Structure 1
Amino acid sequence: MYVIMQRKIPLRKVIAIVKLSLLVIWFWPLSQNANKRKVLYMKLYQYVITLLTIAAMASLIYAVVINPVDPEFVIKSTLGLFPCCHVIWNNLCRIATYRRLQYVTFKMENVYALIKGHEEAIVQRDYIDKFAHFYGFCTISFYISVLALLVGPILHDEPLPIAAEFPFDASRQPLRAITYIHQCVIGLFIAGSLCINTFMALLLWLTSARFKLLIENLRTITNIYDFMKCIEKHQQLLEYAKEVTLVVRPFAMGTIFASTLALITIGLIFIIKVSLALKFQCVFLTVSGLLEVFMYAWPAEHLIHISNNIAQIVFESNWYDESKYFRKNLQMIILRSQKPILVALPCGLPSLSLHYYASYLSTIFSYFTTIRLMFEE
């Protein structure tokens, strides 16, 4: 296992793995020259995902309505609602931001398809080797967790994987097989939707990598012409980074809201009397919810620092030996770099960063404490 984790995963393979993880929900944007028929098939598939997920949510809500006196069953059904809502939210965000998502994805693939050998080595060393295994672990764990949930009825002789109820007898064939297959499909949709976190993180990390490559270029400039090219690249990169943050923030907000609600519900499980098996499962759900938010906070924090580092690198150059025109352009790039690239969440929420993640953890634990005190009283 240690040997496998030490293997280097090339950039092109990282992109291919992320694309494969999203295949079940067909989330990776089509190429800009895709024909109309393929676009139509993609839209129809998204509608099918939404309708099937709404049907699953209806069965979960129905279960809560007809079993209000069973707290364990109610909590299980409620926990199933949050990832279903997350799937629908991601679908709506995809529809709203599709053109922008298509643009930033195409730009990312185009830039790194034409990357030079020494630049690829920098990206590999400073980025891929550092984050690939963590996000790979998260991606695999999403699918393994869903798979474990789906095979539960087979191993423990339970009727269905999800605590749902129906206005018909779902224990009889072929309705039992149909509902089981439906819930399996929904489980795959949920796993694929969680992998969107990895995709959004990849966009942020590779945007930071482009800033890193620009810094390396600035360190090696020898004349005004190379410097002007770097200024032009910097302006284009700032515009691209802005587009990336606009794409990422609605998906990040959906992940944060879904994780927060799920974690608060899980807090109830550790207070009321439920089975030990459910409490054990909720420990893994808690870790998963916290990791989902961290998947955004980590690259967002790095993007803040790397975008600010441009000004420092430019200031450390031999600008005092250059012409007035050179110094004027240098001043422009310093001023533009002093405003960091932030993944600002909508609805007045703070920007994503490790500081935000720390405050998020503090808030979650304060919710747990408040809920425990309320139940004790």
Structure 2
Amino acid sequence: MGKRIAPERAILFTKLSVALTCSWPPSPFATETQLFLFNVLWCTAFVSSIALLLPLMAAIYEYRTHPIVLGKTVSLASAVAQVTIKMMICRFQQKRFQLLYFEMENFCKRATKTERMVLERYVEKYKYFHGVYILWCFLTTAFVICGPLYSSQTFPTDAIYPFSLKYQPLKSLIFFHQSLVGFQASSGMGIDIQVALLLRYMTARFELLGMQLRNARSNSELNACIRKHIELLRYMKEIRLCVKYLVLATMATTTIAVIFGSLNIIANQPLILKALYAIVVFSAAIEFFMYAWPTENLMNMNMKIGSIVYNIDWYNRNIRMQRNIFLTILRSQRLETIRISGIMTKLSLSHYAKFLYASISYFNALRIMIGNP
């Protein structure tokens, strides 16, 4: 068996994948100079995305009667809007994210041999999926940037600017800027991996707690495990408060991207362009899955905690301990999952399936409206 990847390397990989969005908060012990540099980079990245989003909005209005160009422009605008919204959410939740990620990094650094083995097993289990997903995101942008090579377009997008683009060096600058924002959008999709990493870390912590519960013999050891369970549930509540807005932004923008991007697949245009937007649609569809899958695993692992606690010889314990065990079983069945009032009762693989079904239904309705067969 080869050497396993350390959790710290998985964290570093995730940090690098979202570098263009500045979504990973600085350390709580960062100096004033480091904080100033981080703020400058964030503002630069945010202004950069807005500088393309507004011309894309103008293009949507201009091409509102051209279904094919409209579908392409809306799908690309939704990707830029998504990274812009995600950057704002991460900025507003920076203090909370800062504590969550610092605790995760600190736990990995001081993990015992057993804890490190479990963490490394999770890294090994999901490293290829996370790695391929990030690579796919950036390759999708590369395909879009190369659009002018196999189409009549001058730039990767049909964005409309209030000035002439016929002359150099402005023409090259616009091409470079659109390409940069495209990679920012890919990095914004990397935020999904950033959140998934946090959720998988929580799943590993619950698994470690289950191992400690199985080995608990005395009441004091059992009480220590129960207190840790309460701490993990409190930690999960903080994650839920941060992540639900990212989930909402992803769900809304990916739905739009899937619907309008699919118009280019059924349109009468070159096969290579159909393939390009098939890639775009697939990327948008798989993005929401990056939240649903780890959340489903986390819920299942927390339910196992209740089963493990129930299998303890609680009938031989005193009344106070039996009450604590009973409350722990109840807590394990009432995990505060990621939900959005009025929109999503519980994030899960089942809800992801409903999301895909709804997107296809909306697309069919739009296809009929614009008169495509």
Larger deviation: 100-109 or 315-324? 315-324
Secondary structure of 2:157's counterpart equals: coil
Per the TM alignment, residue 152 of structure 1 is displaced from its structure 2 partner at its CA by 4.1
Task: Decide whether the 8 Å contact of 1:57 with 1:81 is kept in 2.
Answer: yes
Q: How does 1:311-350 map to 2 (within 5 A)?
A: 311-345=306-340, 347-350=342-345
CA distance in 1, matches of 2:363, 2:343: 24
Post-superposition Cα deviations, 1:206-256, rounded to whole Å, max 9, x if no partner, equal 111100000000000121121111111111111001111211111111111
Task: Report the counterpart of residue 291 of structure 2 in structure 1.
Answer: 296
Deviation of the 1:264 alpha carbon: 1.0
User: Corresponding residue for 1:188?
Assistant: 183
- Give the match's secondary structure for 2:201: helix
Instruction: Find the partner of 1:260 among 255, 262, 282.
Output: 255
Q: Matches of 2:256 and 2:4 in 1, distance apart? A: 37
CA RMSD in angstroms comes to 2.2
Would the alpha carbon gap of residues 220 and 342 (structure 1) be closer, same or farther in structure 2, given more than 3 Å must change?
Answer: same
Q: In the superposition, relative to structure 1, how do residues 346 and 99 fare at CA in structure 2: closer, same or farther (>3 Å)?
A: farther
- Determine the structure 1 residue equivalent to 2:120: 124
For 1:272 and 1:371, locate their aligned partners in 2 and report how far apart those are by CA, in whole Å.
13
Distance 1:148 1:280, change over 3 A: closer
8 Å contact from structure 1 (residues 72, 274) kept in 2: no
Partner residue of 1:48? Answer: 44
Q: Quick check: 1:249 aligned with 2:244?
A: yes
Deviation at 1:332, TM superposition (A): 2.4
| Structure 2 letter corresponding to 1:38 | Q
**Structure 1 segment 66-215 matched on structure 2, within 5 A:** 66-125=62-121, 127-153=122-148, 158-215=153-210
SS at structure 2 position matched to 1:79: helix
Residue by residue over 1:142-161, the C-alpha shift from the partner in whole angstroms, topping out at 9 and shown as x without a partner, is 11221233344467685212
Of residues 54, 60, 84, the one that matches 1:58 is: 54
Inter-partner Cα distance in structure 1 for 2:213 and 2:18: 36
Tell me what 2:13 maps to: 17
Distance 1:8 1:299, change over 3 A: same
The alpha carbon displacement at 1:272 in A equals 4.2
Report how far residue 283 of structure 1 moved: 1.3
Query: Is 222-231 or 143-152 further displaced after alignment?
Result: 143-152
The answer to whether the 8 Å contact 2:140/2:279 transfers is no
Deviates more, 1:317-326 or 1:305-314: 317-326
Q: CA deviation at 1:91?
A: 1.6
- Tell me by how many angstroms 1:259 deviates: 0.6
Counterpart contact for 2:337–2:346, Cα < 8 Å: yes
Could you tell me which residue of structure 2 aligns to residue 352 of structure 1?
347
Counterpart code for 2:195:
M
Higher mean Cα deviation, 292-301 or 46-55? 46-55
Write the distance in 2 (CA, Å) between the matches of 1:132 and 1:112: 16
Equivalent pair of 2:68/2:263 in contact (CA under 8 Å) = no
Aligned partners of 1:191, 1:19: CA distance in 2, in Å?
A: 13
Distance in 1, Cα, partners of 2:343 & 2:307: 30
User: How many Å apart are 1:275 and its aligned residue?
Assistant: 3.6
Q: Which moved more, 1:166-175 or 1:86-95?
A: 166-175
Where structure 1 has 5 or more consecutive residues not aligned to the other structure, the ranges are: none
CA distance in 1, matches of 2:296, 2:160: 43
- SS for the counterpart of 1:366 is helix
Q: CA deviation at 1:345?
A: 2.7
* 2:301 counterpart of 1:306: yes
Q: Using the alignment, how far apart are the partners of 2:73 and 2:24 within structure 1?
A: 30
Separation in 2 of the partners of 1:95 and 1:104?
Answer: 14
Equivalent residue for 2:31? 35
Structure 1 position 205, deviation (Å): 0.7
Indicate conservation of the 8 Å contact 2:27/2:102, yes or no: yes
Q: Is contact 1:303-1:341 (8 Å) kept?
A: no
Gaps of 5+ in 2: none
TM-score, reference length from structure 1:
0.92
Q: 1:181 to 1:251 in 2, by over 3 A?
A: same
Counterpart of 2:73 in structure 1: which amino acid? S
Aligned length: 372
Residues in 1 aligned to 2:265 and 2:72: alpha-carbon distance in whole angstroms: 13
